[in-house]
């Protein structure tokens, strides 16, 4: 039986080793490539075009959202499963908006990742139970996130601004010009009706993009 190939993306080699062992214990799956950053993930996918990409959102430099966006820009049929510590609903929604096929939190049992892999491999959408409950609760309550009107790139930049990164640092991380980051910065403030960066920090916290105490 042909095996499905996996590109495993996480910035911690020890973590990757653990997940590689878990995945390869399942019949029909093989980790054929690994990457430790969004840029490496994009290059690795271009080389191999694996069947499924399993990636974290938090990585040095560009986030997993950027990796999703670039991989899907190269291959609109790419099947990408996010496996991350980020349990906030806004991250999940923006990941799907960027092109992800699944979203599983690392607090989920191993069986959730395996089940999501099977679903994504068949062209379906998958979420772990905790994210599914958040989606249901939000729909029932009718409440809206303050970042609903932002695109995935804008959410990514908002998080980086709120975490204390400078324009230069964000430009380097995302391989964009300082002018482009400044334009995004202004646009985000306008969309959120935020007068200062301090306002942006509170928006990010309230949206679940940032935890209190995590800013520099």
CATH code for the part of the protein at 4-141: 3.40.50.2300
Per residue in 10-56, pLDDT (tens digit) is 989 999 999 999 999 999 999 999 999 988 999 999 998 899 999 99
Question: What's the mean per-residue pLDDT of the chain?
Answer: 87
Check: CB of residue 121 under 8 Å from CB of residue 52: yes
pLDDT, residue 185, reads 94
Phi, psi angles (nearest 5°) of residue 211 = -95, 145
pLDDT, residue 144, reads 72
Maximum alpha-carbon separation in the chain: 59
pLDDT tens over the chain, length 216 residues: 568 999 999 989 999 999 999 999 999 999 999 999 988 999 999 998 899 999 998 877 777 888 999 999 999 999 999 998 877 778 888 899 889 999 999 999 999 999 999 999 999 999 999 888 887 877 666 667 778 888 878 888 888 888 888 999 988 888 789 999 999 999 999 998 888 888 888 888 877 776 554 444
Task: Map out the domains of the chain as residue ranges.
Answer: 4-141, 152-206
pLDDT, residue 215, reads 44
Tell me the pTM: 0.77
Phi, psi angles (nearest 5°) of residue 179 = -60, -40
What is the CATH topology of the domain spanning 152-206?
Arc Repressor Mutant, subunit A (1.10.10)
pLDDT, residue 59, reads 78
pLDDT, residue 214, reads 45
Q: What is the distance between the alpha carbons of residues 47 and 53, in angstroms, rounded to a whole number?
A: 13
Closest CA to 174 of 69, 86, 83, 54: 69
Which residue has tokens 């653990």? 18
Find how far residue 79's CA is from the centre of its chain: 13
pLDDT, residue 141, reads 66
pLDDT, residue 139, reads 67
């Amino acid at each position: 039986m042909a095996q499905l190939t996996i590109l495993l993306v996480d910035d911690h080699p020890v973590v990757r080793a653990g997940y590689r062992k878990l995945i390869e214990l399942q019949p029909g799956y093989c980790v054929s490539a690994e990457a430790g950053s969004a840029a490496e993930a994009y290059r690795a996918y271009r080389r191999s075009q694996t069947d499924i990409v399993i990636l974290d959102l938090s990585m040095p430099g560009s986030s997993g959202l950027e990796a999703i966006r670039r991989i899907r820009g190269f291959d609109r049929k790419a099947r990408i499963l996010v496996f991350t510590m980020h349990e906030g609903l806004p991250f999940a929604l923006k990941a799907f908006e960027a092109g992800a096929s699944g979203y599983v939190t690392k607090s989920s049992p191993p069986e959730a990742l395996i089940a999501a892999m099977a679903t994504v491999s068949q062209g379906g959408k998958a979420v772990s139970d905790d994210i599914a409950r958040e989606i249901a609760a939000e729909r029932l309550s009718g409440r809206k996130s303050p970042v609903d009107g932002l695109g995935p790139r804008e959410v990514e930049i908002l998080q980086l601004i709120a975490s204390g990164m400078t324009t230069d640092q964000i430009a380097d991380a995302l391989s964009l010009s300082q002018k482009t980051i400044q334009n995004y910065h202004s646009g985000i403030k306008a969309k959120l009706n935020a007068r200062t960066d301090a306002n942006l920090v509170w928006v990010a916290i309230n949206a679940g993009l940032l935890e209190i105490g995590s800013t520099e």
